[in-house]
Each structure stands twice: as C-alpha cells, then as structure tokens.
Amino acid sequence: MTASNETQMSADASADTLKLRDIVKRFEKPGQGQILVLDRVDMDVEGGAFVSLLGPSGCGKTTLMNVVSGLVEPNSGTMRRGDRDVSPNDLSLGYIFQEPRLLNWKTVAENIEFALEARDVPESEWEERTERYLEMVGLGDEGDNYPTRLSGGMKQRVAIARALAIEPEIILMDEPFSSLDEITARDLRQELLEIWQREQKTILFVTHDINEAVFLSDYIYMMNTDGEMFAKRNVDIDRPRKYDDPAIAERETELYREFHENVVH
C-alpha cells in the first residue's frame, strides 16, 4: 500500500467519513485457484464528496464498491464511520449500475415505485417522489412510458431517478455512462454534478476513464490490476468545471503518466 494522502481532512468531515481499512477479497476461479482481487485496500469516502475509483478493467473497482453496497462480502477488513463499525445495512445507499437494469415490463414510474416498495417507503409518498425525481432528471413527461421506448441515455436517467428516489446519503455509480455516446454522456455528467451539489449527496463513482474522473471528482483513488490501491489524488479545480478547461487536460495528463508508471510495466 503506497497510498499517499495529500489532503488533511477537517475534523468535521471526518465524523461522517466512511473509512474502509485493510479490505481483502479473494475469488475462487475454476482452474486458476484463488485470485486476490482486493489486496488490503484502504479508502475514505468523505461526506458530501464526489469520490472516484479509477483503474483499468478487471482491477477490482466494482468489487470494492460492492463491499460498500453489501453485494460482496470481503474476506477481511473493516468499514467504520465516526467511531463505530458499520455494515452496508447501516448505510443509506443508492446504486446506479453500468446498465440501466430497468424492469422493461413496468412503466418508468412503476420502475421507481419498485425501488420505493422494496425500501418500504409508504405508498402515500410514491406519487410525489416519483414525480419529483423524474422531473429532476428531465423525464417529467415519461412516467407512463415503457423503458423499451426510451433511448439509452434516457434509460440511464430513469436509473438515476430510481437511485435518488429512495433518498440515499451515498450514491454508488458503476461506470454508469460508459455505454453511452460521448455527447449524451457529457450532458448527463453535467446534470449529475448539478444534482449532486443541490441535493448534497455523497457519490462514489467507479470509472476507467481518466478524463471523466478528473471532470467529476473531488478526489480520485487509483487502483492497479494486482488489486492494490496505489494512490489517492485530489482534483483542485474550481466548480463549475468546463470540459475545455486546460487545467482538466493538464491534471488528466499527470494522472495518466502516473497510471502508466504503476500499471503498465
């Protein structure tokens, strides 16, 4: 573990910082024995921050995020917040997957109600929440439409509304824009940042796209293919950020160089 902490967190922020320590995860692969996916990984997710997990494909980013989500049980390691050990069940989480993962046989509004029902939100609140969050992602008129009639970008907007509708503190996002065309993806990133700032959410964002990570994040964790977290880097660029800001390109180049040294041997 060579993670160097560039930031000194304020005492305030550290109280609701989610701290993962020494997370180890091994998977059994048929014919290959055990594979070490996460090698004693540490990660701090500060409250209200936009945090990215950056790394090449198959490096265990999604696995690490799923340790937070509870979909993956680590072999060892702790997750703490304040002075207490926490489990995924103690956290208020939303999830936006790489694919929209909508129920195609339900209307857009019913897809959001599915999550509300699953989270035991009282039925009396469904209509108001569905309307509110569909409006927020710009799909106020699509509630009665079926997902199969929507474009890829619109489907991912529905998935964002679904994650927001359960009103989580932390939103987990797993390469949510990677299957969209670049123009659609850029629009969605802008809107995501606006929503994040207005709604005061914490976002943990998995990506393999350095430019995307720099544009979006407050700080970036970088992983290599050996399951090690080798760096934590800040992005000190004022918001709102612009795609053509030379500072973004510059930071991207620096991080790329670092990646190249650590990942490509």
Partner 1 sequence: MNRLHQSLYTAASLVVLLGLWYAGGLAFPEVLPGLPETLAALITVLTTPGPYGNMFYFHVWKTIEMLFASLFVSMIVGTILGIALGRSDSLESTLSMWIYGWLAIPSLVIVFVSAIWIGFNATSGYFAVPVVITPFIALNMWEGARNLDPDLAEMAEFFGAGRFQKFKDVIVPQLAPFLFASFRSGLSIGWKITLLVEAFLLTRGVGFMFKRYFDNYDLPTMMSWLIIFVVFLIIVEYGVLAPLHERVMEWRPEAEGVRVTE
Which residues make up the interface to partner 1 (CB under 8 A)?
69-71, 95, 97, 99, 101, 103-106, 114-115, 117-120, 146-152, 166
Minimum distance of partner 1 from residue 107's CB (angstroms): 8
Q: Which residue lies nearer to partner 1 by CB, 77 or 152? A: 152
Q: Which residue lies nearer to partner 1 by CB, 47 or 152? A: 152
Cα 166 from Cα 155, distance rounded (Å): 18
Minimum distance of partner 1 from residue 223's CB (angstroms): 22
CA distances from 130 to 74, 115, 198, 203 (A): 34, 10, 18, 21
Minimum distance of partner 1 from residue 252's CB (angstroms): 28
Cα–Cα–Cα angle for 103, 179, 36, nearest 5°? 95
Q: Which residue lies nearer to partner 1 by CB, 201 or 251? A: 201
Cα 55 from Cα 223, distance rounded (Å): 5
Query: Could you tell me which residues come within 8 angstroms of residue 202 by beta carbon, excluding any fewer than 6 positions away?
Result: 45, 46, 47, 48, 49, 50, 51, 169, 170, 171
Residue 35 C-alpha from the chain's centroid? 24
Cα 129 from Cα 137, distance rounded (Å): 12
Q: Which residue lies nearer to partner 1 by CB, 34 or 179? A: 179
Q: Which residue lies nearer to partner 1 by CB, 17 or 66? A: 66
Minimum distance of partner 1 from residue 126's CB (angstroms): 14
Minimum distance of partner 1 from residue 73's CB (angstroms): 13
The residue type found at 185 is: A
